[in-house]
Structure 1
């Protein structure tokens, strides 16, 4: 069961100001293709126990390289290819825990003869297979393209547990927003005036709002890769509706049924952060809600935030619903 489902149930039970976090393993992946040209010649020239190495590559904040023994490891029978994943950055990055797999690419560039390790702990050393593939199984027509052997290595590092902030809105049915939250760690914490904090992703905010981009440029850091943004004059409900639009480009589902004052606050926020589409959606919703009790506030809002459509709707309402009792003026000429 997802956390968003649990939060929805808790809010439905009356706990409106509720947040959540989930502890999960922090993972990052990377891949590298190591090509050994003139592999047949390399096998003939290199003795048993002599290795060739790939260039270093990064994955999960660590550096790695592939070590291949074309004729097997030292002391071996010399009838297998040996492959190892080596941890190259231990002095700089410390120990690493990683799952990995290696494959030989066939002529269609599809992984074949794949072997994998679910998880190993690296302390500057390497792990792998002394008998990855028997030389008698190395089908030249299948694996050697112009006598080139291509080795694919996939590495996924696990760097302990972290508390992952939960999204401020229900992700069910919102595939793109869900993909962002499940794949990337939130790197912005929005601090509201009522003390509530809401998590978000910097690149999403910057891409959607030039004002937020400017604000984040001057935001304070909690760590080297995490920012705090203070928005003291916005309540949590408006902020969550705003973020839902930023992540999904669709109006909050409650926009049509919300009281006019709630929509007015969201319109003001949309204008503040230059979210023109959301501003127009709020105007459209407010035009449908104009009545005698709200027309004055709506007209003032239209003037304050430059909403000609809303201003025109208010004017039409007033013309339609105002009764005039004007008396003709008579003049006498003496």
Structure 2
């Protein structure tokens, strides 16, 4: 939270100057402040595919890492681990790597490994099935 403290913030408060945070979505910043003041997450809306909740959790993970709010970082990591799928695994893996979230990395790698194994089995099935090698000898 060092970015929110120091002489410059005290000067801004004394002069009534607004502090701008341009690189964070307003909803994410509101959720961060809510967590800092209440130690709880606000209710995160979840769309049909969980997209809203996931988007806010991704933003909050970055904010929590940036401002050193470790408990919030762990909570966001838990939320994201539940929502990893084949569409989100690569993006979330990059996010996990950037912010040092080892459990999220493991969840993403598991999804990717499962996806690759399934594709590999499908490929083997096409090759083997096409040649008839698994059917065994035919009796004439």
| Normalised TM-score (structure 2) | 0.71
Q: Which runs of 5+ in 1 are unaligned?
A: 1-208, 328-334
1:231 alignment partner, SS class? coil
- Aligned equivalent of 1:248, options 34, 38, 46: 38
Give CA-to-partner distance per residue, 1:217-246, whole Å, 9 cap, x none: 31353645x453221111211111011001
Q: Which runs of 5+ in 2 are unaligned?
A: 128-140
Report what 1:221 is aligned to: 12
2:87 alignment partner, SS class? coil
2:19 alignment partner, SS class? strand
- Cα pair 1:299 1:314 within 8 Å, conserved: yes
Q: State the structure with more CA Rg.
A: 1
**Cα distance between partner residues in 1 of 2:13 and 2:113:** 55
**Runs of 4+ in structure 1 over 3 Å off:** 255-259
Q: How many residues align?
A: 116
Structure with the largest fraction of helix: 2
Report what 1:210 is aligned to: 2
Give CA-to-partner distance per residue, 1:245-289, whole Å, 9 cap, x none: 010011222177534222211111111111111111100000011
Give CA-to-partner distance per residue, 1:8-51, whole Å, 9 cap, x none: xxxxxxxxxxxxxxxxxxxxxxxxxxxxxxxxxxxxxxxxxxxx
Residues 177-326 of structure 1 correspond to what in structure 2 (within 5 A)? 209-214=1-6, 217-219=7-9, 220-221=11-12, 223-224=14-15, 226-254=16-44, 258-322=52-116, 323=118, 324=120, 325=123
Tell me the CA shift for residue 210 of structure 1. 3.4
RMSD, aligned CA: 2.3
